[in-house]
Structure 1
Amino acid sequence: MTLLACSGAWAGVQVNFEQPDKYTDVPFSTPDRDVVLNGLADHFQFLGKSLPPGQQLKIEVTDVDLAGREDVTRRGAFAIRVMDGRTDWPRMRLRYTLEQNGKVLASGNAYLSDMSYLQRIGRYSSNDSLRFEKQMIDDWFRNTFNIKPKGRSKPVVSLQQREVQGR
């Protein structure tokens, strides 16, 4: 049921992706999909470094819808994502549990989305393929755990994609 599990003892975060081949919008090819999922997991783990010592966050991602839409008419050597800011904002569904010493401090289901993703000043470089999703996750992490991200996670630049905004 879980395709990919990433965890880091130093980060206090364990991320699982439930049936990623059924997600709303992730790359079709397995290598590109793995790049996206690993990038998201790395970002959650990066944010987890700001949790108080001894806390463990478990996240189960149940759906991902990346910013923009892949333009299948232009598919070739590069995947092209068209971003118009209308109905193509990034979204994610997940379940989470925050524990300390085996005691549950917080848990729940979360629906993350950022309808104004193209109008915001982003923290992440335009070279980061997941910059809009990372900003959305930062907002959720700040609102849910009251922790402001310190710094930025490493950019995901290995996806071979070009983006076209506002066709």
Structure 2
Amino acid sequence: MKRHSRYWPAAALMLAAAGAASAGTVKVTYQEPKNFHDMPFAESERTQVLKELTAHFDKLAKRLPLNQQLNVTVTDIDLAGRVEPTRRNAMNDLRILRGQADWPTMSLSYSLEQDGKVIASGSENLKNMLYLDRMNRYPGGDALRYEKPMLDDWFKDTFGAPAQLSQK
């Protein structure tokens, strides 16, 4: 037993090095977010949505090789569901998810650079039309639980990286 235990630190270092080799970066730009199709009206809520989307793009980019940078410009967002005002207070509007024509969509353009040279680029109109009918591993409390699988699918299809990310 003692003999095998001395190999564990070396194995842990090798796994850590393998993870570090895959750590691309991302730069996300939101083009006129106040004009997006469907975003919260309150500035603080809109900022929070964009912050969470940027963090998700960052998690996705970590699946890229170390020497690659993904540049994303988001030109429009339509979140899942529709906002319906409540009678009492406009600050407490509800987002209702019906699973009809209220699926999440996002328009973006991207370029992938490696060592300063563009190796891939394009524009996409993403949508998750079956957002209520497909399995979703993001927790119910995640405000973007229907938009994140849409981004995961796009990332996997475009860059060949694993689609589902761990939550931590």
Shared fold (TM-score, shorter chain, > 0.5): yes
1:70 and 2:83 correspond:
yes
Alpha carbons 1:74, 1:80 under 8 Å: kept: no
Q: Over residues 33-76 of structure 1, what are the superposed CA-to-partner deviations in whole Å (9 max), with x where a residue is unaligned? A: 00001100100001100001100000000000000000024573
Using the alignment, how far apart are the partners of 2:61 and 2:88 within structure 1?
36
**Which amino acid letter does the alignment assign opposite residue 151 of structure 1?**
L
| Corresponding residue for residue 149 of structure 2 | 135
Other structure's SS at 1:131 match: coil
Q: 2:71 aligns with which of 51, 55, 58?
A: 58
Q: 1:20 aligns with which of 33, 39, 63?
A: 33
1:92 and 2:106 correspond:
yes
4+ residue segments displaced more than 4 Å = none
- TM-score scaled to structure 2, two decimals? 0.82
**Which amino acid letter does the alignment assign opposite residue 131 of structure 1?**
R
Using the alignment, how far apart are the partners of 1:153 and 1:96 within structure 2?
24
RMSD: 1.5
Other structure's SS at 1:87 match: coil
Identity of counterpart residues, as a percentage?
46
Other structure's SS at 2:146 match: helix
**Which amino acid letter does the alignment assign opposite residue 48 of structure 1?**
A
| Corresponding residue for residue 126 of structure 1 | 140
**Which amino acid letter does the alignment assign opposite residue 51 of structure 1?**
L
Gaps of 5+ in 1: 1-9, 155-167
**Which amino acid letter does the alignment assign opposite residue 136 of structure 1?**
M
1:107 and 2:116 correspond:
no
Higher helix share: 2
Larger Rg: 2
**Which amino acid letter does the alignment assign opposite residue 117 of structure 1?**
Y
- Bigger relative contact order, structure 1 or 2 (CA pairs below 8 A, ≥6 apart): 1
| Corresponding residue for residue 162 of structure 1 | none
Higher strand share: 1
How many residues get paired? 145
